Chains A and B, each alone.
Chain A
Protein backbone atom coordinates (compact mmCIF):
# COMPACT_ATOMS: atom_id res chain seq x y z
CA UNK A 1 0.00 0.00 0.00
CA UNK A 2 1.48 3.37 -0.94
CA UNK A 3 2.57 5.45 1.99
CA UNK A 4 0.22 8.27 2.77
CA UNK A 5 1.91 11.66 2.39
CA UNK A 6 2.52 13.18 5.80
CA UNK A 7 0.42 16.22 6.45
CA UNK A 8 2.59 19.29 6.98
CA UNK A 9 2.14 21.08 10.26
CA UNK A 10 1.69 24.83 10.52
CA UNK A 11 5.22 24.95 12.00
CA UNK A 12 6.69 23.31 8.87
CA UNK A 13 4.94 25.86 6.69
CA UNK A 14 6.06 28.75 8.88
CA UNK A 15 9.62 27.39 8.91
CA UNK A 16 9.64 27.38 5.11
CA UNK A 17 8.42 30.97 5.04
CA UNK A 18 11.13 32.04 7.50
CA UNK A 19 13.82 30.31 5.39
CA UNK A 20 12.53 31.98 2.22
CA UNK A 21 12.49 35.33 3.99
CA UNK A 22 16.06 34.85 5.25
CA UNK A 23 17.22 33.99 1.73
CA UNK A 24 15.52 37.11 0.38
CA UNK A 25 17.07 39.28 3.11
CA UNK A 26 20.55 37.87 2.28
CA UNK A 27 19.96 38.53 -1.41
CA UNK A 28 18.99 42.14 -0.67
CA UNK A 29 22.03 42.65 1.56
CA UNK A 30 24.31 41.24 -1.15
CA UNK A 31 22.81 43.67 -3.66
CA UNK A 32 23.32 46.57 -1.25
CA UNK A 33 26.86 45.57 -0.29
CA UNK A 34 28.36 43.84 -3.33
CA UNK A 35 31.47 41.75 -2.74
CA UNK A 36 34.69 42.87 -4.37
CA UNK A 37 37.71 45.02 -3.66
CA UNK A 38 37.24 48.64 -2.68
CA UNK A 39 39.95 49.66 -5.11
CA UNK A 40 40.74 49.45 -8.81
CA UNK A 41 44.39 49.49 -9.88
CA UNK A 42 43.52 49.97 -13.56
CA UNK A 43 41.60 53.18 -13.00
CA UNK A 44 43.78 54.11 -9.96
CA UNK A 45 40.59 54.68 -7.94
CA UNK A 46 39.66 53.92 -4.37
CA UNK A 47 35.97 53.39 -3.74
CA UNK A 48 34.45 56.06 -1.50
CA UNK A 49 31.84 55.13 1.09
CA UNK A 50 28.53 56.71 0.18
CA UNK A 51 24.92 56.91 1.17
CA UNK A 52 21.61 57.84 -0.46
CA UNK A 53 18.61 59.30 1.34
CA UNK A 54 15.36 59.90 -0.53
CA UNK A 55 12.86 62.35 0.98
CA UNK A 56 9.52 63.48 -0.41
CA UNK A 57 11.20 66.47 -2.10
CA UNK A 58 14.78 65.54 -2.83
CA UNK A 59 17.48 62.93 -3.17
CA UNK A 60 20.52 63.47 -0.95
CA UNK A 61 23.72 61.62 -1.83
CA UNK A 62 26.64 61.87 0.58
CA UNK A 63 30.14 60.48 0.14
CA UNK A 64 33.05 60.26 2.55
CA UNK A 65 35.92 61.84 0.58
CA UNK A 66 39.06 62.10 2.73
CA UNK A 67 42.32 63.37 1.25
CA UNK A 68 40.79 64.99 -1.87
CA UNK A 69 41.15 68.34 -3.64
CA UNK A 70 37.63 69.81 -3.27
CA UNK A 71 37.88 71.76 -6.55
CA UNK A 72 38.31 68.50 -8.51
CA UNK A 73 34.98 67.02 -7.38
CA UNK A 74 32.88 65.91 -10.34
CA UNK A 75 29.27 64.79 -10.00
CA UNK A 76 27.75 63.24 -13.13
CA UNK A 77 24.51 61.56 -13.99
CA UNK A 78 25.75 58.51 -15.94
CA UNK A 79 22.17 57.75 -16.92
CA UNK A 80 18.73 58.55 -15.56
CA UNK A 81 19.23 56.41 -12.46
CA UNK A 82 22.99 56.38 -11.85
CA UNK A 83 25.07 59.08 -10.19
CA UNK A 84 28.86 59.00 -10.22
CA UNK A 85 31.06 61.09 -7.95
CA UNK A 86 34.81 61.37 -8.51
CA UNK A 87 37.55 63.55 -7.02
CA UNK A 88 41.33 63.69 -7.26
CA UNK A 89 43.31 63.01 -4.11
CA UNK A 90 45.67 65.60 -2.66
CA UNK A 91 48.41 63.00 -2.60
CA UNK A 92 48.65 59.64 -4.37
CA UNK A 93 48.26 56.66 -2.06
CA UNK A 94 50.15 53.44 -2.68
CA UNK A 95 49.39 50.06 -1.17
CA UNK A 96 52.72 50.36 0.62
CA UNK A 97 51.53 53.61 2.26
CA UNK A 98 48.80 51.49 3.84
CA UNK A 99 51.30 48.86 5.00
CA UNK A 100 50.43 46.39 2.21
CA UNK A 101 53.44 45.02 0.34
CA UNK A 102 51.98 41.96 -1.40
CA UNK A 103 50.03 44.08 -3.91
CA UNK A 104 51.17 46.75 -6.30
CA UNK A 105 49.31 49.84 -7.31
CA UNK A 106 48.75 53.46 -6.55
CA UNK A 107 45.59 55.48 -6.32
CA UNK A 108 45.02 59.05 -7.34
CA UNK A 109 41.27 59.46 -6.99
CA UNK A 110 38.19 58.48 -5.02
CA UNK A 111 35.04 57.36 -6.78
CA UNK A 112 31.56 56.08 -6.02
CA UNK A 113 28.45 55.24 -7.98
CA UNK A 114 24.94 55.25 -6.61
CA UNK A 115 21.79 53.90 -8.17
CA UNK A 116 18.81 56.19 -7.44
CA UNK A 117 15.39 54.54 -7.40
CA UNK A 118 13.29 57.68 -8.00
CA UNK A 119 13.23 60.31 -10.79
CA UNK A 120 15.46 63.30 -10.00
CA UNK A 121 16.63 66.49 -11.72
CA UNK A 122 20.40 66.29 -12.20
CA UNK A 123 20.50 69.79 -13.72
CA UNK A 124 19.49 71.41 -10.44
CA UNK A 125 21.89 69.72 -8.05
CA UNK A 126 23.43 71.57 -5.11
CA UNK A 127 26.84 70.51 -3.88
CA UNK A 128 28.43 71.13 -0.48
CA UNK A 129 31.73 69.82 0.88
CA UNK A 130 31.96 69.99 4.65
CA UNK A 131 34.51 68.27 6.87
CA UNK A 132 35.60 65.90 4.13
CA UNK A 133 32.07 64.76 3.35
CA UNK A 134 30.47 65.64 0.04
CA UNK A 135 26.74 66.26 0.03
CA UNK A 136 24.80 66.47 -3.25
CA UNK A 137 21.10 67.38 -3.27
CA UNK A 138 18.88 66.74 -6.27
CA UNK A 139 15.25 67.88 -6.40
CA UNK A 140 12.86 65.02 -7.18
CA UNK A 141 10.92 65.13 -10.44
CA UNK A 142 7.19 65.00 -9.91
Chain B
Protein backbone atom coordinates (compact mmCIF):
# COMPACT_ATOMS: atom_id res chain seq x y z
CA UNK B 1 0.00 0.00 0.00
CA UNK B 2 1.36 3.42 -0.86
CA UNK B 3 2.16 5.90 1.88
CA UNK B 4 -0.99 7.82 2.92
CA UNK B 5 0.85 11.13 3.12
CA UNK B 6 4.18 11.93 1.56
CA UNK B 7 6.30 15.01 1.35
CA UNK B 8 8.00 15.42 -2.01
CA UNK B 9 11.23 17.38 -1.75
CA UNK B 10 12.13 19.64 -4.69
CA UNK B 11 15.56 20.64 -3.45
CA UNK B 12 17.95 20.15 -0.56
CA UNK B 13 16.22 20.84 2.72
CA UNK B 14 18.17 22.91 5.26
CA UNK B 15 19.01 21.48 8.69
CA UNK B 16 18.67 23.37 11.94
CA UNK B 17 16.02 25.67 10.48
CA UNK B 18 13.05 27.17 12.31
CA UNK B 19 9.82 25.73 10.96
CA UNK B 20 6.88 28.17 10.76
CA UNK B 21 3.46 26.60 10.34
CA UNK B 22 0.47 28.57 9.09
CA UNK B 23 -2.41 26.35 8.09
CA UNK B 24 -5.94 27.74 7.58
CA UNK B 25 -7.57 28.28 10.95
CA UNK B 26 -9.31 30.98 13.01
CA UNK B 27 -9.41 34.26 11.02
CA UNK B 28 -6.81 32.74 8.65
CA UNK B 29 -4.27 34.53 10.86
CA UNK B 30 -1.53 31.91 10.54
CA UNK B 31 -2.02 31.45 6.81
CA UNK B 32 -1.96 35.20 6.06
CA UNK B 33 1.07 35.76 8.31
CA UNK B 34 3.04 32.82 6.92
CA UNK B 35 2.23 33.69 3.28
CA UNK B 36 3.40 37.23 3.92
CA UNK B 37 6.64 36.09 5.50
CA UNK B 38 7.31 33.81 2.49
CA UNK B 39 7.02 36.83 0.19
CA UNK B 40 8.94 39.22 2.44
CA UNK B 41 11.85 36.82 3.06
CA UNK B 42 11.75 35.69 -0.57
CA UNK B 43 11.56 32.01 0.40
CA UNK B 44 11.58 29.39 -2.37
CA UNK B 45 9.31 26.38 -2.69
CA UNK B 46 11.35 23.44 -1.41
CA UNK B 47 8.74 20.68 -1.00
CA UNK B 48 5.06 19.85 -1.15
CA UNK B 49 2.66 17.38 0.38
CA UNK B 50 1.03 14.67 -1.71
CA UNK B 51 -1.80 12.71 -0.15
CA UNK B 52 -5.07 11.02 -1.07
CA UNK B 53 -6.38 12.26 2.28
CA UNK B 54 -6.47 15.80 0.91
CA UNK B 55 -9.22 16.89 -1.52
CA UNK B 56 -8.48 16.32 -5.24
CA UNK B 57 -7.30 19.88 -5.75
CA UNK B 58 -4.37 21.58 -7.46
CA UNK B 59 -3.91 25.35 -7.33
CA UNK B 60 -2.87 27.27 -10.44
CA UNK B 61 -0.42 30.12 -10.02
CA UNK B 62 0.83 31.95 -13.12
CA UNK B 63 -0.58 29.07 -15.17
CA UNK B 64 1.37 26.36 -13.38
CA UNK B 65 -0.23 23.70 -11.17
CA UNK B 66 0.93 23.63 -7.55
CA UNK B 67 0.10 21.38 -4.62
CA UNK B 68 -2.07 23.26 -2.13
CA UNK B 69 0.09 22.30 0.87
CA UNK B 70 3.61 23.51 0.28
CA UNK B 71 6.89 24.08 2.09
CA UNK B 72 9.04 27.13 1.44
CA UNK B 73 12.47 27.85 2.83
CA UNK B 74 15.95 29.26 2.91
CA UNK B 75 18.87 28.20 5.10
CA UNK B 76 17.23 29.53 8.27
CA UNK B 77 13.49 29.01 7.82
CA UNK B 78 11.00 26.47 6.56
CA UNK B 79 7.48 27.86 6.15
CA UNK B 80 4.45 25.60 5.71
CA UNK B 81 1.21 26.87 4.18
CA UNK B 82 -1.92 25.31 2.77
CA UNK B 83 -4.18 26.99 0.24
CA UNK B 84 -6.99 24.63 1.13
CA UNK B 85 -8.68 23.94 4.40
CA UNK B 86 -7.28 20.65 5.71
CA UNK B 87 -10.24 18.26 6.13
CA UNK B 88 -10.90 17.66 9.81
CA UNK B 89 -10.50 13.85 9.64
CA UNK B 90 -7.09 14.24 7.92
CA UNK B 91 -5.65 16.90 10.21
CA UNK B 92 -4.04 14.34 12.57
CA UNK B 93 -2.11 12.49 9.91
CA UNK B 94 -1.18 15.69 8.05
CA UNK B 95 0.17 17.39 11.18
CA UNK B 96 1.95 14.23 12.32
CA UNK B 97 3.67 14.00 8.93
CA UNK B 98 4.72 17.67 9.03
CA UNK B 99 6.22 17.31 12.52
CA UNK B 100 7.89 13.95 11.73
CA UNK B 101 9.37 15.41 8.54
CA UNK B 102 10.57 18.43 10.51
CA UNK B 103 12.23 16.09 13.00
CA UNK B 104 13.92 14.17 10.17
CA UNK B 105 15.20 17.50 8.82
CA UNK B 106 16.47 18.40 12.32
CA UNK B 107 14.43 21.59 12.66
CA UNK B 108 15.52 23.44 15.78
CA UNK B 109 12.01 24.60 16.68
CA UNK B 110 8.47 24.78 15.36
CA UNK B 111 6.51 28.02 15.53
CA UNK B 112 2.83 28.04 14.77
CA UNK B 113 0.99 31.31 14.28
CA UNK B 114 -2.74 31.71 14.59
CA UNK B 115 -5.73 33.45 16.08
CA UNK B 116 -7.63 33.34 19.33
CA UNK B 117 -11.31 33.85 18.54
CA UNK B 118 -12.82 36.74 20.49
CA UNK B 119 -16.49 37.57 20.22
CA UNK B 120 -16.13 41.37 20.35
CA UNK B 121 -13.20 41.55 17.94
CA UNK B 122 -14.62 44.52 16.01
CA UNK B 123 -14.48 46.58 19.20
CA UNK B 124 -10.74 45.86 19.66
CA UNK B 125 -8.54 48.36 17.86
CA UNK B 126 -5.21 46.69 18.69
CA UNK B 127 -5.52 42.91 19.21
CA UNK B 128 -3.34 41.44 21.94
CA UNK B 129 -0.93 38.57 21.36
CA UNK B 130 -0.62 35.56 23.63
CA UNK B 131 1.83 32.71 23.53
CA UNK B 132 2.20 29.13 24.57
CA UNK B 133 5.28 26.90 24.55
CA UNK B 134 6.24 23.27 24.85
CA UNK B 135 8.40 23.88 27.94
CA UNK B 136 8.99 26.41 30.71
CA UNK B 137 12.29 27.66 29.31
CA UNK B 138 10.68 28.59 26.00
CA UNK B 139 7.75 30.14 27.81
CA UNK B 140 10.22 32.36 29.71
CA UNK B 141 11.79 33.36 26.38
CA UNK B 142 8.36 34.39 25.13
CA UNK B 143 7.70 36.42 28.26
CA UNK B 144 11.07 38.17 27.93
CA UNK B 145 10.12 39.10 24.35
CA UNK B 146 7.01 40.77 25.74
CA UNK B 147 4.49 38.11 24.71
CA UNK B 148 1.78 37.49 27.30
CA UNK B 149 1.29 33.87 28.28
CA UNK B 150 -1.99 32.19 27.44
CA UNK B 151 -2.43 30.90 30.96
CA UNK B 152 -5.52 28.73 30.78
CA UNK B 153 -7.52 27.65 27.76
CA UNK B 154 -7.97 25.12 25.01
CA UNK B 155 -6.19 24.85 21.68
CA UNK B 156 -8.04 22.95 18.99
CA UNK B 157 -6.98 21.93 15.49
CA UNK B 158 -3.65 22.17 13.64
CA UNK B 159 -1.92 24.28 16.32
CA UNK B 160 -2.94 21.88 19.05
CA UNK B 161 -1.58 18.93 17.09
CA UNK B 162 1.59 20.78 16.13
CA UNK B 163 2.19 21.30 19.85
CA UNK B 164 1.21 17.74 20.80
CA UNK B 165 3.41 15.99 18.21
CA UNK B 166 6.33 18.39 18.80
CA UNK B 167 6.29 17.51 22.49
CA UNK B 168 6.17 13.79 21.61
CA UNK B 169 9.15 14.26 19.29
CA UNK B 170 11.02 16.50 21.72
CA UNK B 171 11.09 19.45 19.32
CA UNK B 172 10.89 22.86 21.01
CA UNK B 173 7.62 24.39 19.94
CA UNK B 174 5.83 27.70 20.42
CA UNK B 175 2.45 29.09 19.38
CA UNK B 176 1.94 32.82 18.86
CA UNK B 177 -1.73 33.72 18.79
CA UNK B 178 -3.48 37.07 18.32
CA UNK B 179 -7.02 37.97 19.27
CA UNK B 180 -8.96 37.69 16.03
CA UNK B 181 -12.27 37.20 14.28
CA UNK B 182 -13.40 33.60 14.26
CA UNK B 183 -14.74 33.35 10.72
CA UNK B 184 -13.64 36.58 9.03
CA UNK B 185 -10.13 36.89 7.55
CA UNK B 186 -8.09 39.07 9.90
CA UNK B 187 -4.98 40.60 8.27
CA UNK B 188 -4.55 43.05 11.17
CA UNK B 189 -4.23 40.16 13.64
CA UNK B 190 -1.76 38.52 11.23
CA UNK B 191 0.33 41.72 11.17
CA UNK B 192 0.40 41.88 14.96
CA UNK B 193 1.47 38.24 15.23
CA UNK B 194 4.25 38.92 12.71
CA UNK B 195 5.51 41.86 14.77
CA UNK B 196 5.88 39.54 17.76
CA UNK B 197 7.46 36.81 15.65
CA UNK B 198 10.03 39.31 14.37
CA UNK B 199 11.07 40.07 17.96
CA UNK B 200 11.24 36.40 18.97
CA UNK B 201 13.19 35.23 15.91
CA UNK B 202 15.17 38.46 15.61
CA UNK B 203 14.20 39.06 11.98
CA UNK B 204 13.01 42.17 10.23
CA UNK B 205 9.53 41.93 8.72
CA UNK B 206 7.88 45.17 7.67
CA UNK B 207 4.12 44.63 7.96
CA UNK B 208 3.07 47.95 6.42
CA UNK B 209 2.27 46.37 3.01
CA UNK B 210 0.18 43.72 4.71
CA UNK B 211 -1.87 46.36 6.49
CA UNK B 212 -2.22 48.40 3.28
CA UNK B 213 -3.53 45.35 1.42
CA UNK B 214 -5.87 44.40 4.28
CA UNK B 215 -9.15 45.09 2.45
CA UNK B 216 -8.00 43.32 -0.70
CA UNK B 217 -6.92 40.29 1.33
CA UNK B 218 -10.30 40.20 3.10
CA UNK B 219 -12.08 40.15 -0.26
CA UNK B 220 -9.82 37.48 -1.74
CA UNK B 221 -9.87 35.27 1.36
CA UNK B 222 -13.68 34.92 1.61
CA UNK B 223 -13.80 31.52 -0.10
CA UNK B 224 -11.01 29.82 1.82
CA UNK B 225 -12.40 31.34 5.04
CA UNK B 226 -15.81 29.79 4.31
CA UNK B 227 -14.32 26.36 3.66
CA UNK B 228 -12.07 26.65 6.71
CA UNK B 229 -15.12 27.46 8.82
CA UNK B 230 -16.74 24.22 7.67
CA UNK B 231 -13.71 22.25 8.82
CA UNK B 232 -13.45 24.23 12.08
CA UNK B 233 -17.07 23.26 12.82
CA UNK B 234 -16.18 19.60 12.23
CA UNK B 235 -13.15 19.93 14.56
CA UNK B 236 -15.32 21.44 17.31
CA UNK B 237 -13.12 24.52 17.18
CA UNK B 238 -15.64 26.42 19.30
CA UNK B 239 -14.16 24.55 22.26
CA UNK B 240 -11.53 27.29 22.29
CA UNK B 241 -14.19 29.47 23.94
CA UNK B 242 -14.49 26.95 26.81
CA UNK B 243 -12.93 27.27 30.25
CA UNK B 244 -10.81 24.31 31.29
CA UNK B 245 -11.26 22.74 34.71
CA UNK B 246 -8.11 21.82 36.58
CA UNK B 247 -8.48 22.19 40.32
**Residue A127 interfacial (CB < 8 Å):** no
Query: Which residues of chain B come closer than 8 Å to A83, judged between CB atoms?
Result: none
Q: Judging by beta carbons under 8 Å apart, are B226 and A38 in contact?
A: yes
Q: Judging by beta carbons under 8 Å apart, are A49 and B230 in contact?
A: no
- How big is chain B's contact interface, by range? 20 to 34
Among A38, A46, A93, A133, point to the contact of B184 (Cβ < 8 A): A133
If the complex has contacts A130-B123, A133-B184, are A33 and B226 also in contact, measured as CB distance less than 8 A? yes
**Stretch in contact with the other chain, from B164-172, B213-221, B237-245:** B213-221
Query: Which residues of chain B come closer than 8 Å to A32, judged between CB atoms?
Result: 230, 233
Among A33, A48, A62, point to the contact of B122 (Cβ < 8 A): A62
Q: Mark A95-124, 1 if CB is under 8 A from B, else 0.
A: 000100000000000000000000000000
Tell me, in angstroms, the Cα distance from A48 to B226 when the chains sit together: 10
Q: Judging by beta carbons under 8 Å apart, are A49 and B122 in contact?
A: no
Tell me, in angstroms, the Cα distance from A38 to B234 when the chains sit together: 21
Tell me, in angstroms, the Cα distance from A51 to B234 when the chains sit together: 17
**Residue B190 interfacial (CB < 8 Å):** no
Query: Mind listing 11 A-B residue pairs with CB under 8 Å?
Result: A32-B233, A47-B222, A49-B183, A51-B183, A51-B184, A66-B215, A98-B219, A130-B123, A131-B125, A131-B188, A132-B215
Chain B residues near A (Cβ < 8 Å)? 121-123, 125, 181-185, 188, 214-216, 218-220, 222-223, 225-227, 229-230, 233-234
List the 7 closest pairs (A to B, CB-CB), nearest first: A66-B218, A64-B184, A66-B215, A133-B122, A67-B215, A130-B122, A33-B230
